[in-house]
Chains A and B, each alone.
Chain A
Amino acid sequence: MRHLADGPYLADGLRLPTNGLDYTILAIYFAVVLGIGFAARASVRTSLDFFLSGRSLPAWVTGLAFVAANLGATEILGMAATGAQYGVAVVHWYWIGAIPAMVFLGLVMMPFYYGSKVRSVPEFLLQRFDRPAHLLSSVLFAFAAILIAGVNLYALSIVVEALLGWPQWVSIVVAGFFVLAYITIGGLSSAIYNEVLQFFVILAALIPLTVLGLKRVGGWDGLTGSLEKSHGSDFLSAWGGTGIGDANPLGANWLTIVLGLGFVLSFGYWTTNFAEVQRALSAKNLSAAKRTPLIAAFPKIFIVFVVMIPGLVAAVLVPKIGTAGSGLTYNDAIPLLMQELLPNGVLGIAVTGLLAAFMAGMAANVSSFNTVFTADIWAKYVVRDRDDTYYLRFGRIVTAVGVLASIGTAFLAASFSNIMGYLQTLFSFFNVPMFVVFIIGMFWKRASVKSGFWGLVAGTVAAMVNYFVIYKQGVIAIPTDQGANFVSAIVGFVAGAVVMVAVTLFTAPKPEAQLAGLVYGTRSPGMEEAPSEGDDAWYRRPALLGWGAVLLAAACYLPYSF
């Protein structure tokens, strides 16, 4: 959800002193990745196995995959960069910009998603609204997934070139090949299992880095002491300087942070981005599906520390980081600490974790792309009503095509990186109205079948007009792109909602009988199944997990708010 900071990805001169030990650790990982793919092959018999792991995985697996699918390397490097640039304010992307949305997905939306048995997010739109809404969201999602996968691959090649000295094309082709192999062979199960593994490896890399970084600058007190002197006290406060009208480096005030980031952007991403929701849909029953984002919320609350602290430490070690004088960009924060602090051995783990995170970020997009392209586009609009083995084979071919397209996108990004950044911004505006369409569609029975499509179009257009015309042309002054992004999200949300209500008033509602299990207050047939054994244990109660996560995130704000 977070792009890397602007500017060149990594400075030269960050070459890591890797040796044979580090490469052994890396080679073992690549072998295991492929092994998982081959071992998962036996479990793929139907298209449902390939695209959704047969809806049969346990909650802790889907939960860790849910958080890992978001923990791609662009996210890790980008969030550390945000920490080095804006200071403690980076916690907003976690505690208000993720946790409430994840809990809402688990407690409120999952019964409709999982219970209606849809296989993808666009398929829900087809059930609740109509074919135009479905086709529009499927096509845009498919394009965006390939674009993001390609950008991930490109970012990987830049980082690997700087750190290990491999030419860019080598890492693009090698990483692309591994992702292609393990997803084509093992399907979503293989992608999810690799994400769970990546989750632990990246933590094994980031925790030692954080500990050593803190020790290097004299512990937390030493860190805050030096930053207070060099950057001022607002740098160490989550809300300092965010009063309306105050100037702060983020370019956003508390209202746009809460509404734009915390509500619209975050709910749009976490509750309607299929690359995330797919992990929950592959859970083995409704209880496990509800718990998927809730289990993910707890690591998400604490991951910010192992990302933000390296960013802050980098800001102490190189006070001018991010400016021309230092020779380092904000994105260099984590690679810089790896180079400065990690001896061979742990260094190999860190390199492995970073590469694994890049591949997982790409794989999450490829494994959701192949599902939407096969189940939503091909099987519904192009070649319909064939038997399941046809769609399973087609899914495998589309996976290969998707990876090749991402490789192509990565090479394009290498030549036209500005266009890529522009495209990413463009697609990000599509996520905004998705949430408003879902929320109104799920909670207002009257919302008509036609209102979904027009809500999507109006919200997207409004967000884009606000960003590209009103902000970029300077009609209204907003200090930063970041702040403008938050405001555009709010504008898109409101426009989508208004248009949906207006269209609904003039068009026919969907017959009540067809809304069963799709709208709040109705139930899917067959949803009354008894919880499976053990799911009634107190620590598995979704409400407890969900509210526990919200309270914990709120409590985490306390030390950084006064």
Chain B
Amino acid sequence: MSELQREVSELEKKSATAARLFDIRRIIGGLFTVYGIIVTVAGLTASDADLEKAVGVNINLWTGLGMLALGLFFLIWLWLRPVAPPTPAPAPPAE
């Protein structure tokens, strides 16, 4: 094993990312749910000028609902499949 391999393997053992880094699905889910609600409400209260600008499409409503769906998708995914805790090193065989 080369010197580099030894050094990086050592660091991998001490690394804290796997155990302590939070799950990004929570952030994506949270942000898109909030954005989805804000933009959907903007769509529900759209003025005629807004609609006219967006060539007759209530784009805020559709985009808001889309973002809301994406946000909920990430939250449900997180809820259904939480990250498995890091596997502990195999126990030494019993005598």
Does B39 lie within 8 Å of A345, measured CB to CB?
A: yes
Some 20 contacts from A to B, beta carbons below 8 A apart, are: A35-B27, A36-B27, A42-B21, A43-B17, A45-B14, A46-B15, A49-B15, A54-B11, A55-B8, A57-B17, A118-B4, A193-B27, A200-B32, A204-B63, A204-B67, A207-B66, A343-B54, A343-B60, A345-B64, A526-B9
Name the one of B5, B63, B70 contacting A524, with C-beta atoms under 8 angstroms. B5
- Chain B's nearest CB lies how many Å from the CB of A512? 14
Specify the chain B residue showing the minimal Cβ separation from A213. Answer: B55
Does A341 lie within 8 Å of B21, measured CB to CB?
A: no
Partner-binding segment picked from A21-29, A166-174, A251-259: A21-29
**A110 CA to B27 CA, complexed, in Å:** 29
- Taken residue by residue from 206 to 221, chain A's Cβ proximity to chain B (1 for < 8 Å, 0 otherwise) reads as 0110011001100000
**A55 CA to B17 CA, complexed, in Å:** 8
- Chain A's nearest CB lies how many Å from the CB of B18? 4
Q: Indicate if B24 sits at the interface (CB-CB under 8 A).
A: yes
Contact of A127 with B4 at beta-carbon distance under 8 Å, contacts A25-B35, A25-B38, A204-B66 already known: yes
- Chain B's nearest CB lies how many Å from the CB of A511? 12
Q: Indicate if A39 sits at the interface (CB-CB under 8 A).
A: yes
Specify the chain B residue showing the minimal Cβ separation from A214. Answer: B55
Name the one of A24, A36, A47, A340 contacting B11, with C-beta atoms under 8 angstroms. A47
Does A46 lie within 8 Å of B14, measured CB to CB?
A: yes
Does A40 lie within 8 Å of B21, measured CB to CB?
A: yes
Specify the chain B residue showing the minimal Cβ separation from A532. Answer: B87
**A526 CA to B1 CA, complexed, in Å:** 9
Q: Indicate if A80 sits at the interface (CB-CB under 8 A).
A: no
Q: Indicate if A189 sits at the interface (CB-CB under 8 A).
A: yes
Q: Indicate if A61 sits at the interface (CB-CB under 8 A).
A: yes
Q: Indicate if A450 sits at the interface (CB-CB under 8 A).
A: no
Does A117 lie within 8 Å of B55, measured CB to CB?
A: no
Chain B residues with Cβ below 8 Å from A24 are: 38
Q: Indicate if A446 sits at the interface (CB-CB under 8 A).
A: no
Contact of A123 with B12 at beta-carbon distance under 8 Å, contacts A25-B38, A345-B60 already known: no
Contact of A197 with B27 at beta-carbon distance under 8 Å, contacts A212-B59, A342-B59, A345-B38 already known: yes
**A127 CA to B28 CA, complexed, in Å:** 39
Does B55 lie within 8 Å of A54, measured CB to CB?
A: no
Specify the chain B residue showing the minimal Cβ separation from A205. Answer: B63
**A42 CA to B17 CA, complexed, in Å:** 8
Does B38 lie within 8 Å of A117, measured CB to CB?
A: no
Interface residues of B in 28-77 (CB under 8 A from A): 28, 31-32, 34-35, 38-39, 42-43, 46, 49-51, 53-57, 59-60, 62-64, 66-67, 70
Chain A residues with Cβ below 8 Å from B39 are: 25, 345-346, 349
- Chain A's nearest CB lies how many Å from the CB of B59? 5
Chain B residues with Cβ below 8 Å from A344 are: 42, 50
**A340 CA to B15 CA, complexed, in Å:** 50
A-B contact sample (18 more), CB < 8 A, given A21-B38, A44-B17: A24-B38, A25-B35, A39-B22, A40-B21, A43-B16, A47-B11, A48-B14, A53-B17, A56-B17, A61-B24, A123-B4, A127-B4, A193-B24, A197-B28, A204-B35, A343-B59, A346-B60, A525-B1
**A57 CA to B19 CA, complexed, in Å:** 11
Does B20 lie within 8 Å of A345, measured CB to CB?
A: no
- Chain A's nearest CB lies how many Å from the CB of B52? 9
- Chain A's nearest CB lies how many Å from the CB of B39? 5
Does B53 lie within 8 Å of A343, measured CB to CB?
A: yes
Name the one of A28, A45, A123, A341 contacting B54, with C-beta atoms under 8 angstroms. A341
Chain A residues with Cβ below 8 Å from B42 are: 21, 343-345
- Chain A's nearest CB lies how many Å from the CB of B2? 7
Does A46 lie within 8 Å of B11, measured CB to CB?
A: yes
Name the one of A54, A123, A208, A524 contacting B16, with C-beta atoms under 8 angstroms. A54
Q: Indicate if A432 sits at the interface (CB-CB under 8 A).
A: no
Interface residues of A in 1-49 (CB under 8 A from B): 21, 24-25, 28-29, 32, 35-36, 39-40, 42-49
- Chain A's nearest CB lies how many Å from the CB of B88? 14
Chain B residues with Cβ below 8 Å from A53 are: 17, 21
**A465 CA to B66 CA, complexed, in Å:** 51
Chain A residues with Cβ below 8 Å from B51 are: 343
Chain A residues with Cβ below 8 Å from B21 are: 40, 42-43, 53, 56-57, 189
**A42 CA to B51 CA, complexed, in Å:** 46
Q: Indicate if A284 sits at the interface (CB-CB under 8 A).
A: yes
Does B16 lie within 8 Å of A46, measured CB to CB?
A: yes
Does B57 lie within 8 Å of A211, measured CB to CB?
A: yes
Q: Indicate if A228 sits at the interface (CB-CB under 8 A).
A: no
Does A28 lie within 8 Å of B24, measured CB to CB?
A: no
Specify the chain A residue showing the minimal Cβ separation from B86. Answer: A56
Contact of A208 with B59 at beta-carbon distance under 8 Å, contacts A48-B15, A524-B5 already known: yes
Does B34 lie within 8 Å of A28, measured CB to CB?
A: yes
Chain B residues with Cβ below 8 Å from A279 are: none
Sorted nearest first, the 4 A-B pairs with minimum C-beta distance are A54-B15, A54-B17, A345-B42, A343-B50
**A123 CA to B7 CA, complexed, in Å:** 13
Name the one of B18, B28, B38 contacting A196, with C-beta atoms under 8 angstroms. B28
Name the one of B15, B43, B59, B62 contacting A55, with C-beta atoms under 8 angstroms. B15
Specify the chain B residue showing the minimal Cβ separation from A35. Answer: B27
**A123 CA to B5 CA, complexed, in Å:** 12
Name the one of A43, A349, A516 contacting B35, with C-beta atoms under 8 angstroms. A349
Q: Indicate if A290 sits at the interface (CB-CB under 8 A).
A: no
Specify the chain B residue showing the minimal Cβ separation from A45. Answer: B16
Chain B residues with Cβ below 8 Å from A127 are: 2, 4
